[in-house]
A and B are shown apart, each in its own frame.
Chain A
Amino acid sequence: MSDQEWPLYEVFIRSKSGLSHRHAGSIHAADDQMALDAARDTYTRRSEGVSIWVVRSSQIVASDPAETAAFFDPAQDKIYRHPTFYDIPDGVENL
C-alpha cells in the first residue's frame, strides 16, 4: 500500500491581494490538508503568497494542444473585436 503513489495536486498561488492566483507547480499529497501544507512549504518559503489553491490534477479539464489551431480558430477572423479595427475620423476626440 505504501508503494502506491499519493495523488498529484496542482498548486496556485496569489502573491498578494489584488492579483489573481497563478500556477506555481505541483506536489503529491495523501489528502487536501496535506496538499495545502506541502504547497506552503514547497512554494512559499520566502513569503511568495497570501493565498494558496490546490486542486487534484486529475480534476483539471484542459484543451488539447494538438487541437489548438482548430479550437481557437473562431477568434482568428474577428478583427473587428479590436478597437484598432476602426478608423477614427480626423478631429474626433475622446473616442
Chain B
Amino acid sequence: MYTQGLDQKDKPAAAGQGTETPEQLEAFQARIDAEEKIEAKDWMPEAYRRTLIRQISQHAHSEIIGMQPEGNWLTRAPTLKRKAILLAKIQDEAGHGLYLYSAAETLGVSRDQMVADLLNGKAKYSSIFNYPALTWADIGTIGWLVDGAAIMNQIPLCRCSYGPYSRAMIRICKEESFHQRQGFDILVSLCNGTDKQKAMAQDALDRWWWPSLMMFGPSDKDSKHSAQSMAWKIKRFSNDELRQKFIDVTVPQAEFLGLKVPDDKLAFDESTGHYRHGEIDWQEFLDVLAGNGPCNRQRMAKRCKAHDDGAWVREAARAYATKHTAKHAA
C-alpha cells in the first residue's frame, strides 16, 4: 500500500542533471520500454533512483508504523485464536517493512539513514495510520479495507521496473491476502452477532471508509509525479483508476455484510459498470499528511521511544559480537 509518497513534494525532478547524457537516458528508457527489469548495480537516472528511494522507504515506514494501531489490540483480542492471528499479522507487517528496507538499500541509501529520516519527521508514511483503532471492529475493518486497498495498490507494483522492489512486492502480496481475509472474517462474525456488535462494525466502516479511499493518493488531476513514474513503469495505474477498482470490488462486500457505505452519492452506474462516488474531503487528507491527523504525534512519539528503548539491545548485541570475534581470532 502506502505509495502516496509518489505524489508528494520533492525537489524539482532533475532529469538529465549532472553527467547524465541524453543517450544514457534514452538507452535507459528503451530498457524500460522493453519491459527489462532494472537491477541494483545497473546504470539509472538519478531521478529514478531518488523516486524509488522515496517511495520504497515510505512504504517500509508505513509497514512499521502500521503495527501500532493493531498492536494496541493484542491484549484485548476477544479470543486466544484471534489474538494468535493478530500477532501473526503484525509480525508480517514487520517482515514487510524489512523486505522493503532491504530493497531500498540496494539503491545506495543506508538503513540508518532511512530510520533517521523517519524519526526526525523528514520521511512520511501512509496517512491511514494516523487514525485510531477505537474498537475491536476497527481491527476487522483495517484488515478488510486498509489491507484491501493495499493489495489493490501493490499488485501492479509486483511488475514494477525495479527488480528488488518488484520481488519484495511479490512476497508481500502473497502474505497480504491473509491479512485482508482475517479482517473480513472478524466482520462476518460481528455482523452475524448481536445488534450491538453489528452497530460496532457499522461505526468502524463509517470512520474508515473515506480514509481508506484517500490511501490511493490525490486525484489524478492533482497528482504531480504520476506521469514520470508511469513512463518509468514504477507505477502502472493512476490513483483514480486504482481507487475506482477498489470501490467496485468493496461495495458488494459491504452489502454482503449488511453494512452501509457512508456515502450518499454512491450509486452503481449501469452504463459504465462502475460505482459513482461522492467527493473526497481532500482538505482532511492534506491535514493528515501535514502532521495534523488524529494520531500523528502519538505514532511518532511511540516510534521514537521504541528506537531509544532499543538502544541498549543494539549496543549489547554489537558488544557480544565483538567479544566473540576477538575470541575466534585468538
Contact = CB atoms under 8 A, between A and B. Distances in A.
B105 A65 contact: no
Interface stretch (A26-34, A76-84, A85-93): A26-34
A27 B318 CA distance: 15
Which of B91, B98, B105 gathers most chain A CB within 10 Å? B98
A73 interface: no
A66 interface: yes
Given A4-B318, A30-B317, A31-B321, A45 B95 contact: yes
B122 interface: no
A57 to B, nearest CB: 9
Contacts of B324: 31
Interface string B217-235: 0000000000000000000
Interface string B58-78: 000000000000000000000
Interface secondary structure of B, over-half rule: helix
Nearest to B102: A26
A49 to B, nearest CB: 13
A27 B92 contact: no
Interface secondary structure of A, over-half rule: loop
A65 B168 contact: no
A64 B102 contact: no
B312 interface: yes
A6 interface: yes
A2 B315 contact: yes
B41 A1 contact: no
Given A30-B317, A30-B321, A31-B317, A42 B112 contact: no
Interface string B163-176: 00001100100010
Interface string A30-65: 110010000001100110000000000000001011
Nearest to B97: A42
B42 interface: yes
B105 A26 contact: yes
Contact of B314 (A6, A42, A46): A6
Contacts of B277: none
Given A31-B317, A42-B99, A66-B43, A3 B112 contact: yes
Contacts of B88: 45
Interface string B302-317: 0000000001101101
B41 A6 contact: no
Contact of A2 (B92, B110, B168, B314): B314
Given A25-B98, A25-B168, 4 more contacts: A1-B315, A30-B320, A45-B92, A66-B43
30 contacts: A1-B315, A2-B311, A3-B112, A5-B112, A6-B314, A6-B317, A8-B105, A25-B98, A25-B103, A25-B168, A26-B102, A27-B98, A27-B102, A28-B111, A30-B317, A30-B318, A30-B320, A31-B320, A31-B321, A31-B325, A34-B321, A41-B91, A42-B95, A45-B91, A45-B95, A46-B175, A62-B41, A65-B39, A65-B41, A65-B42
